[in-house]
Amino acid sequence: MSRSTRHAFALCTPFIFTSTNALSTTDELSALKQQLAQLQQKIEQIELQHAGEAEKQKPESGITVGGAIRVNYSTNSYDEDTKNRGGDFDFDVFRFNFSGEVADIGLNAEIRFFDYMSVVKYAYLDYDITSNWQAQLGLTQVPFGNDPYNSHSFFMSPNYFVGLEDDYDMGIVMKRQVANNWQLDLGFFKNDELGGVDGYVEDRKDRYSIDIVGIRDESEGIYDAPKAELGEQNTFVARYHYHLEHFAGSTALGVSALTGGLHDGQYSRGDYQAWAVHVNSNIGNWNLQFQHGQYDYQLTDVDRIAVAANATYDTMPTEATMSSANIAYNWSINYGPVTHLQIYNDFGTIYNKSDDSANTWMNVTGVAVTAGPIFSYIDLVHAKNQPFVGGTIAGQSDNVERRFNINIGYYF
């Protein structure tokens, strides 16, 4: 019996009891039966009305389209032409996002259009197998490290530049949602987003995620296309998080591990592994992130490999250690259209490199501003041997470079 039915019978119970005591003839009993029948009919009408209203409130299935347009201003210490111009104001990206559900199967996709390339960041189907388990199939995020990012800034952390943050590959992921304080992500990725070493693409460096694309010969420059191609294959990934609730908020303690193979187009060439331990803690308005780990590409007599993303080839050592520590403060305000500020400082470093190159480190101090549909990053970056800040992971520079960057996005 529904809540509305119980309520209606509760209202009429005193009437029924009183009337029954007063009845003394057959006509009165017949009248009471007729009243009860009319009341039951009215209750059924009310319940049908409530059911219709509930059905109207259910979200309709279908695909929603959104996106963003972003522009970028930057000035730095390592480009004399840029400094002489007082910085550059450039178009960053125009992107479309697709999300929704049809027949209980979800779709999530994002395509990005830059001046220099067009890429699909992710595109996968999801299905809720049970209330706790979801399957994702397609170009989906590799579950490694702090979820969803090990950073707060526009530049992410140095982990991104070795392919271990915000990485997307072709495969399947099984995600156990947070239940009984723990969650688990299990993934198998057949190859990278462009089909691996044998992918049918025009340019292997036109991709969003950093991936290995070749062996770096000693005669090659750091930014050259590799002569000997290489690609990831058959990668298994696992990430476990345990969530602690405490008086000031919550903390996710996690560990990640992956292992996979490397292929040169004809033969298996080696293996690679990576692991990390990580913490993501919310304490009041504060967010704290810590992560430490290692990666190792096991290739005989090879110390450097070629990687690619963002229409650029680069170089990194085959083995290194990574550590990072980030802090952010979330501040809700009401100043004109501005409703939220996130003030942060992210620090990350890569060291103990197999090629004996100098340490990489990057420190980003910044603020993310939310104002209606506009979301902006304002970052001051100091770094050494850091990609996109005047350096490379395989660099030997002793110079600390600086970059001031403002990225403004309109989201719809």
Q: How does pLDDT run across 277-289, given as a tens digit for each residue?
A: 999 999 999 999 9
Q: Determine the pLDDT at residue 383.
A: 98
Q: Determine the pLDDT at residue 180.
A: 87
Pull the structure tokens for residue 317.
């050592």
Average pLDDT over residues 90-106: 97
Question: Is the per-residue pLDDT at 237 higher than 60?
Answer: yes
Q: What is the mean pLDDT of the chain?
A: 90
Pull the structure tokens for residue 280.
């993501």
Question: Is the per-residue pLDDT at 201 higher than 80?
Answer: yes
Q: Which residues pair with 405 in a beta bridge?
A: 74, 379
373 prior amide bond cis, ω within 30: no
Question: Is the per-residue pLDDT at 330 higher than 90?
Answer: yes
Average pLDDT over residues 329-335: 96
Question: Is the per-residue pLDDT at 56 higher than 80?
Answer: no
Lowest mean per-residue pLDDT among 24-28, 84-88, 103-107, 127-131: 24-28
Q: Report the CATH superfamily, name and number, of domain 63-411.
A: Porin (2.40.160.10)
Angle, in degrees to the nearest 10, between helices 3-22 and 26-57: 170
Q: Determine the pLDDT at residue 16.
A: 37
Q: Can you tell me whether residue 20 is helix, strand or coil?
A: helix
Average pLDDT over residues 13-40: 52
Q: Determine the pLDDT at residue 202.
A: 87
pLDDT confidence band for 38 (50 / 70 / 90): low
369 versus 28: the higher-pLDDT residue is 369
Instruction: Round to whole Å and give the CA distance between 412 and 405.
Output: 23
Nearest to 331 by CA among 284, 264, 387: 284
Question: Is the per-residue pLDDT at 216 higher than 50?
Answer: yes
What percent of the chain stands above pLDDT 70?
85
Q: Long-range contacts for 263-266 (Cβ within 8 Å, ≥24 apart)?
A: 263/196, 263/197, 263/230, 263/231, 263/232, 263/233, 264/197, 264/228, 264/229, 264/230, 264/231, 265/197, 265/198, 265/229, 265/231
> What is the per-residue pLDDT across 139-177, written as a single tens digit (0 to 9) for each?
999 999 999 999 999 999 999 999 999 999 999 999 998
How many residues can be counted in the chain? 412
Question: Is the per-residue pLDDT at 246 higher than 50?
Answer: yes
Residue with tokens 């972003």: 70
Q: Determine the pLDDT at residue 32.
A: 57
Q: Determine the pLDDT at residue 198.
A: 85
256 Cβ contact partners less than 8 Å away, ≥ 6 residues apart: 143, 144, 145, 237, 238, 239, 240, 274, 275, 276, 277, 278, 293
Lowest mean per-residue pLDDT among 9-18, 53-62, 179-188, 296-305: 9-18
Residue with tokens 């996710």: 252
List, in sequence order, every beta strand (DSSP E) within 210-266: 211-215, 228-229, 231-246, 249-263
Interior/surface letters 52-84, b for 16+ CB within 10 angstroms, e for the rest: eeeeeeeeeeeeeeebbebebebbbbebeeeee
> What is the per-residue pLDDT across 298-317, written as a single tens digit (0 to 9) for each?
999 999 999 999 999 999 99
Instruction: Round to whole Å and give the CA distance between 63 and 371.
Output: 26
Instruction: Round to whole Å and give the CA distance between 393 and 384.
Output: 9
90 Cβ contact partners less than 8 Å away, ≥ 6 residues apart: 71, 72, 73, 74, 115
Residue 231 region by backbone torsions, left for phi larger than 0, else alpha for psi between -120 and 50, else beta: beta
Interior/surface letters 285-310, b for 16+ CB within 10 angstroms, e for the rest: eebebbbebebbbebeebbbbbbbbb
Q: Determine the pLDDT at residue 61.
A: 75
Q: Considering the entire predicted model, what is its pTM? A: 0.84
Q: What is the DSSP string of 21-63?
A: HH--SHHHHHHHHHHHHHHHHHHHHHHHHHHHHHHHHSPPPEE
Question: Is the per-residue pLDDT at 7 higher than 60?
Answer: no
Instruction: Round to whole Å and give the CA distance between 4 and 52.
Output: 14
